[in-house]
A and B are shown apart, each in its own frame.
Chain A
């Protein structure tokens, strides 16, 4: 029986060790290696047949050169900053777009709500790639948005939106909107209506009651939604490479190009390590918010 239990733990544990932790250690190791014109294109490689001396040589040859390089070439820190900026702005826009939708859902008659929920979740099951792609036809110069704007007489010249950062913002807001709506809706739905009634009885206007009661009580949902959009948006690759232009700098795209176009594995690995270090902070904050929420509910 103990053997079975051991096996039950060992199989998923071993799988994750081999295919999640070990690969990450390899990335860390290659980030500390040097680029070389060989297969694989980096040195040093660990030579276990040379025994202890081989291991010592191996660790002796590792250094932080690639990280120094990342700070010197301004492409990289600009890409990190621009990813953070794009992720931050799109998160705020998603909040502004998503909150009224979640609010409307929570106010909707009880019997509509399951359907509304399904309508929010349904896009999540549809291919991410296709949802991003669907904006290409809308935002291009002869696309539907420009056709509409010119037909309505709002612009005479077609607007250039596709292949700019504007398109990236639209793409992120569109694809991550359900992640914002669902946690906010979850907190708004649980909100005690009698509090609002009390506030209005005591002379608050509806707007005042919203800011005094609804907004603070939905805070944890807002925070959760913001992190659920912000964290994946930083490392996003598909949206900037389909909707963005050559001047759209995002770190996921830089990593991809460093690896596939420049074949510079050590630098790509160093980019990945820094990206992860940047992500650790919002992830920890998100975890704390979730934990506080769980404690409040108990």
Chain B
């Protein structure tokens, strides 16, 4: 058997994952450092977490970021699912090529260009920069990601089920709600999650489209980080890494148990 797992494979995996995880592990450990000197260990302390919770500016920014992320990812999920449906099931219509081009282009567009162009639009139409403009900007690029995720699921799934619903007298809308949507629901949910994290994380586009009263957390972190490493930012990063780790691991466990249940149900059905 040639497919043996060699020492070379084991070493490259160990080193590779050490490289991927070491910086974040160091960050997490040193967020509990008592010293203000971030690279010198001076005993365990949670004081930077306390400082963080008393820092009004960070809390305000976190609230703005969360608001923007929830609203923009929800709109983006609706628009992105519509776009995916139109692309996969819509057949031909005038301007279809332009439409699919506009879905894929934002995925490769450098963020500085997306940010700049949206800002110039908002100024041209006289829209004041604030939460609304960030939401509009985030919705626009994340709906494209949602649409890619959902359309890959739509392509994979059997069209005859939809046709059966239509034959049995459903309107296209009813067929979508009762047949298509439940089938593509996992993709829609992961699309929403993707849009949500993209929005939480975005610095460049938010910097172009935010106003003075609507600073988001990444903007706040960026301006603090430019002055150097700070223990408060380490604490904030640890909280964010923790939330993501718990979320992703929980999601994978849930999908694992679901798959296990589905295979069990199938086996049970076959035995009957």
Where the two chains meet, the residues of A that have a C-beta atom closer than 8 Å to any C-beta of B are 1, 4-5, 8-9, 11-13, 15-17, 19-24, 26-27, 30, 40, 97-98, 100-101, 103-105, 107-109, 116, 118-123, 125-131, 133-138, 140, 142-144, 147, 174, 177-178, 181, 193, 196-197, 200, 231-232, 234-238, 241-242, 252, 255-256, 259, 265, 268-269, 272, 275-276, 279, 283
Top-6 shortest CB links A-B = A235-B110, A100-B12, A23-B117, A101-B16, A134-B23, A104-B9
B120 touches A275 (CB 8 A): no
Q: Which residues of B contact A30 (CB under 8 A)?
A: 120
- Give Cα A281–Cα B173 distance, bound, in whole angstroms: 41
Binary contact track B192-234/A, C-beta < 8 Å → 1, others 0: 0000010011011000100000000010011001101100011
Interface size range of chain B in the complex? 35 or more
Q: Which residues of B contact A259 (CB under 8 A)?
A: 116, 208
A126 touches B3 (CB 8 A): no
- Give Cα A174–Cα B172 distance, bound, in whole angstroms: 47
Would A138 and B23 be within 8 Å (CB), given that A127-B240, A200-B2 are in contact?
Answer: yes
B113 touches A12 (CB 8 A): no
Would A104 and B13 be within 8 Å (CB), given that A12-B86, A130-B27 are in contact?
Answer: yes
- Give Cα A142–Cα B228 distance, bound, in whole angstroms: 12
- Give Cα A116–Cα B21 distance, bound, in whole angstroms: 13
Q: Which residues of B contact A256 (CB under 8 A)?
A: 112, 204
Would A140 and B120 be within 8 Å (CB), given that A4-B172, A231-B108 are in contact?
Answer: no
Min Cβ gap B116→A in Å is: 6
A255 touches B229 (CB 8 A): no
Would A11 and B82 be within 8 Å (CB), given that A19-B136, A127-B237, A193-B3 are in contact?
Answer: yes
A197 touches B2 (CB 8 A): yes
Judge whether B188 is part of the interface by a CB distance below 8 angstroms.
Answer: no
Min Cβ gap A26→B in Å is: 5
B241 touches A126 (CB 8 A): yes
Q: Which residues of B contact A238 (CB under 8 A)?
A: 203-204, 222
Judge whether B95 is part of the interface by a CB distance below 8 angstroms.
Answer: yes
A174 touches B110 (CB 8 A): no
A107 touches B6 (CB 8 A): yes
- Give Cα A92–Cα B93 distance, bound, in whole angstroms: 42
Min Cβ gap A121→B in Å is: 8
Set B9, B82, B221: member contacting A108, Cβ < 8 A: B9
Judge whether B171 is part of the interface by a CB distance below 8 angstroms.
Answer: yes
B3 touches A123 (CB 8 A): no
Q: Which residues of B contact A197 (CB under 8 A)?
A: 2
Of all chain B residues, the one with the shortest Cβ separation from A7 is B82
By CB atoms of chain A within 10 A, which of B95, B143, B203, B218 has the most? B203
B112 touches A235 (CB 8 A): yes
- Give Cα A53–Cα B237 distance, bound, in whole angstroms: 57
B227-264 residues with Cβ-Cβ distance < 8 A to A are 228-229, 233-234, 237, 240-241, 244-245, 247-249, 252
- Give Cα A120–Cα B90 distance, bound, in whole angstroms: 35
Set B4, B80, B245: member contacting A122, Cβ < 8 A: B245
Instruction: Name 17 A/B residue pairs within 8 A (Cβ), A-sorted.
Output: A5-B172, A16-B99, A26-B117, A27-B117, A101-B16, A116-B13, A125-B197, A126-B24, A129-B218, A130-B241, A133-B229, A196-B2, A236-B110, A238-B222, A259-B208, A265-B120, A276-B109
Q: Which residues of A contact B12 (CB under 8 A)?
A: 100-101, 103-104
- Give Cα A121–Cα B234 distance, bound, in whole angstroms: 22
Set A21, A196, A235: member contacting B102, Cβ < 8 A: A21
Min Cβ gap A282→B in Å is: 9
B20 touches A143 (CB 8 A): no
Min Cβ gap B131→A in Å is: 16
Judge whether B42 is part of the interface by a CB distance below 8 angstroms.
Answer: no
Of all chain B residues, the one with the shortest Cβ separation from A46 is B124
A24 touches B117 (CB 8 A): yes
* Extra A-B contacts (10), CB below 8 Å, given A103-B9, A275-B113: A26-B117, A27-B113, A101-B16, A118-B249, A130-B241, A133-B221, A138-B23, A174-B19, A255-B116, A275-B110
- Give Cα A20–Cα B118 distance, bound, in whole angstroms: 8
B172 touches A129 (CB 8 A): no
- Give Cα A8–Cα B98 distance, bound, in whole angstroms: 16
A27 touches B116 (CB 8 A): yes
Binary contact track B116-139/A, C-beta < 8 Å → 1, others 0: 111011011000000000001101
Q: Which residues of B contact A27 (CB under 8 A)?
A: 113, 116-117, 120
Min Cβ gap B218→A in Å is: 5
